[in-house]
Structure 1
Amino acid sequence: MPSTDSPFSSRSPISSSSKAKLGRRDRSRSPLTSVKRSAELNTQSSSSNPFTLISRFIGSCFAPAKAHSNVENFSDAFKFSSETTSASGSKYGTSHSSVKRLSGRGIYISGSQNEPGGLSFSMKEIHKATKNFSPSLMVGQGGFGTVYKGTLDNGMLVAVKRAKRSAYDKHLGTEFQSEIQTLARVEHLNLVRFMGYLENEGERILVVEYVPNGTLREHLDCLHGDCLSLAARLDIAIDVAHAITYLHMYADHPIIHRDIKSSNILLTENFRAKVADFGFARLGTTETGVTHISTQVKGTAGYLDPEYLKTYQLTEKSDVYSFGVLMVELVSGRRPIEPKRDSKERLTPKWAMKKFMDGNAIQILDPKLPKTPASSLALEKVLSWLFNVLLQTDRAGPA
């Protein structure tokens, strides 16, 4: 079992007055209210310097709601209408599908109530879309199976995820059903869109939107040409934060992803991020007084919340921890676990925390990125926020 020694133990505890409890907010509230600079900032390109916004914005995604919010509590980067209707009589006082949102980035709430039964494909359609699973259309392969690029009759590009026949067992069947049920519940521009599925005669196939620009991990490794700039990386972090916030608080039912990692973040041609792979996702609890779900540990080594690993108690904080590890990966370019490095550098979050506490934060920056006064300032702000969040989860990680 991976070590659960804390990489953060060298830092003195935060005062109780400054600790933010990262539990779920009142789900009837919008995560971002109208803000003063939305119109101005929405006209800027994604290459604009986001360094003065990143710490406040990402922090606002996970901070608890306050009784009397104002614009200072939220990001200056986005504008949402606070207008809601409450005709559903739900326990949260608001119909989630009726929350009206306006955003420069195009975030939107799930309005789809479709059940998977209405989204099925035939094997004939799948064969036609993938040219009989042509090897030339294969775009990825993993433990679950193989992913193909496909084209539907209407010209839409899709990703067709085909399970390995040899892996067709009860365990993977559960993951397949989990992914269908989760994807059918959600709709958000920073989540991969569900198109349909096929489960018939030994075949399990999932069809989702095709995201053309590879994974975040591939771009951190510079496999697609130029490496991502620091500004682009912070934009991607904002997109992922939006996706997690939506899953936890604004989907029809809270959803815990359980596998937030760089290889599950897909990028569009404009470098907008979309969170993918819901095979490990679980519905969170909405019962009063219930704080967690007891479940078998699922996830990826290096990103796993150590508290979840030790107690088998799953909460939204587990995704927040994984997001924190992802942030370290974004700024450093390193994977969470680097087995070929010196023993003091193998656990990237622990190594980064030590560098930060020693006043050497700039040494954490990905060597492929230019070291400038702006990047140094941005790095200090991001890491200061980041390690506070990881400390405030009271997690011992990484795992």
Structure 2
Amino acid sequence: MNVGSQHPGQFDEINQSKLELCIARVPVFVHDLSAAMRSPLPDGGRRSAASNTPAKLARSSSYSTDDHSTNSHRSSARSTAHSIANALFGCFTPPDPSKSSSNVFSDSSGASSSGSDRRRSIYGSSIDSTYSREHGSVIFTMEVINKATKNFSPALKIGQGGFGTVYKGQLADGTLVAVKRAKKHGDERILVTEYVPNGNLREHLDGIKGDRVDFAVRLEIATDVAHAVTYLHMYTDHPIIHRDIKSSNILLTENLRAKVTDFGFARLCADGESGATHISTQVKGTAGYLDPEYLITNQLTEKSDVYSFGVLLVELVTGRRPIEPKREQKERITAKWAMRKFSCGEAILTLDPRLVRSPANSFALEKILELAFNCLAPHRHNRPSMRKCAEILWEVRKDYREFSVFDAPPLPSKSPVSNYIREV
């Protein structure tokens, strides 16, 4: 499925067709090495592979107003990790069983193969029988992981974060994977994910990876990310707040399609059925992307992701980082500078100087900055939903293509320029 061309009217079908392009697939796990994570579950002891998750997923604070309760923290961490892993696996669409070999697993009912004890890898090829599978996830032994990473060789280290180190690994069948090793308070947890070799969005905007990313590709990336976060907010069994949407967490495939990754700060959304409107929790995130309302009140909602997405939109069209300390004072906070220019009718001055100032680019720039303006509203109630963002970007993308082909602006929209115009 080409998510970039998804029509907004088809959003209700996303849960069935699955967003395989937009969220970094996480269908493979290693047994959790933490004794706490091996404790019985409230559901009578049933544990899926998704529950054996790494500290990277289980790190988020307790799903309650008290972040200092250890038992509540562990229970919530397991629940959060379970939901996130299931959501991510929901984005993994295996090959059509009718077209694949006989070694096929059911999509979500656990390990089931026919005619062989060999198992299918995340790319559909058969892999060594030392791997087992539960509830759609593949589980590896430490022996397999040590072999894949050459005992976590420093030469294979490809990343380092606050929650652990990431290594490049190669499975016995040749499949390349990313292996995250996280340690905290004596616990060690390991996560194996799809290896995306083309770097992250920030590296491409900086010119570190690949050639210059043109405007059309940036628009596609924005659309991909919007669809992915919409999926997290609306189409998982329990909605998820990513809490760290930023350019370095957007991985790009070789054909420059975007995948949202790094769920270290992810939290389950508030339980709307109980009347809860937010989660009270310690502030987590990245400077420059943080929702100021969340920063002040410690109240987390899906709209915090929307704010971060607004910052990302500005970053995409300007090419600048959210905070530019070496620039003059009025330009150091990129989002504020860009919104000020947009409000004064000088949006074109914010366009990345490496991009062409064509009529099509100017048109799309205005529309994207307008959406960013709404996403960056000071109060969450004035921000659009991620679904609305995805719908708007889909329309902008469609008009941009028509504009580029015919070199003429589309008919003006009947909607007002912005519903949330305010002083910046």
**1:131 Cα offset (Å):** 1.6
Q: Which residue of 1 aligns with 2:185?
A: 169
Q: Which is further off, 360-369 or 101-110? A: 101-110
| 2:10 is aligned with 1:80 | yes
Query: Which residues of 2 match residues 140-155 of structure 1 at below 5 A?
Result: 140-155=159-174
CA change 1:293–1:106 in 2 (3 A) is closer
- 3-state SS of 1:302 partner: coil
| 2:224 is aligned with 1:239 | yes
Distance 2:20 2:209 in 1: 28
Q: Which residue of 1 aligns with 2:266?
A: 281
Distance 1:235 1:121 in 2: 35
**Unaligned 5+ residue runs, structure 2?**
24-88, 92-106, 111-133, 384-424
Identity of aligned residues (%): 65
| 2:361 is aligned with 1:375 | yes
Q: Which residue of 2 aligns with 1:295?
A: 281
Aligned residues: 278
**1:385 Cα offset (Å):** 2.5
Q: Which is further off, 103-112 or 245-254? A: 103-112
**1:135 Cα offset (Å):** 2.9
- 3-state SS of 1:139 partner: strand
TM-score, normalized by length of structure 1? 0.63
**Unaligned 5+ residue runs, structure 1?**
1-37, 47-74, 84-95, 171-201
1:329–1:335 CA contact under 8 A, matched in 2:
yes
CA change 1:208–1:386 in 2 (3 A) is same
Distance 1:370 1:135 in 2: 42
Q: Which residue of 2 aligns with 1:386?
A: 372
| 2:251 is aligned with 1:266 | yes
Match of 1:100 among 4, 7, 16: 16
- In our comparison, the structure showing a higher alpha carbon Rg is 2
Distance 1:149 1:105 in 2: 21
Query: Which residues of 2 match residues 212-223 of structure 1 at below 5 A?
Result: 212-223=197-208
Distance 2:370 2:219 in 1: 15
1:81–1:101 CA contact under 8 A, matched in 2:
no
TM-score, normalized by length of structure 2? 0.59
**1:129 Cα offset (Å):** 0.5
User: What amino acid sits opposite 1:144 in the alignment?
Assistant: F
Give a deviation string over 1:196-254, Cα, whole Å, max 9, x none. Answer: xxxxxx53322111011000000000111311111101100111001100000001110
**1:287 Cα offset (Å):** 3.1
| 2:244 is aligned with 1:228 | no
- 3-state SS of 2:363 partner: helix
**1:386 Cα offset (Å):** 2.1
Q: Which residue of 2 aligns with 1:69?
A: none
Distance 2:90 2:163 in 1: 29
Match of 1:255 among 227, 240, 244: 240
Give a deviation string over 1:293-318, Cα, whole Å, max 9, x none. Answer: 11111100110101111111110000
Q: Which residue of 2 aligns with 1:133?
A: 152
Match of 2:193 among 188, 203, 208: 208
User: What amino acid sits opposite 1:326 in the alignment?
Assistant: L
User: What amino acid sits opposite 1:337 in the alignment?
Assistant: I
Give a deviation string over 1:135-189, Cα, whole Å, max 9, x none. Answer: 33222222223211111123221101123x5xx328xxxxxxxxxxxxxxxxxxx
1:80–1:103 CA contact under 8 A, matched in 2:
no
User: What amino acid sits opposite 1:278 in the alignment?
Assistant: F
Q: Which residue of 1 aligns with 2:30?
A: none
Distance 1:378 1:261 in 2: 21
Q: Which is further off, 121-130 or 322-331? A: 121-130
Distance 1:146 1:329 in 2: 27
1:324–1:386 CA contact under 8 A, matched in 2:
yes
Give a deviation string over 1:266-319, Cα, whole Å, max 9, x none. Answer: 011111111111111001123332111111111001101011111111100000
Give a deviation string over 1:358-386, Cα, whole Å, max 9, x none. Answer: 21111111111111121111111211222
CA change 1:261–1:135 in 2 (3 A) is same
| 2:140 is aligned with 1:121 | yes
Q: Which is further off, 215-224 or 386-395? A: 386-395
2:224–2:259 CA contact under 8 A, matched in 1:
yes
CA change 1:78–1:358 in 2 (3 A) is closer
Distance 1:212 1:348 in 2: 29
2:176–2:194 CA contact under 8 A, matched in 1:
yes
CA change 1:360–1:82 in 2 (3 A) is closer
Distance 2:267 2:22 in 1: 26
CA change 1:116–1:161 in 2 (3 A) is farther
Q: Which residue of 1 aligns with 2:175?
A: 156
Q: Taking CA–CA contacts closer than 8 Å with sequence separation of 6 or more, which of the two structures ends up with the larger relative contact order?
A: 1
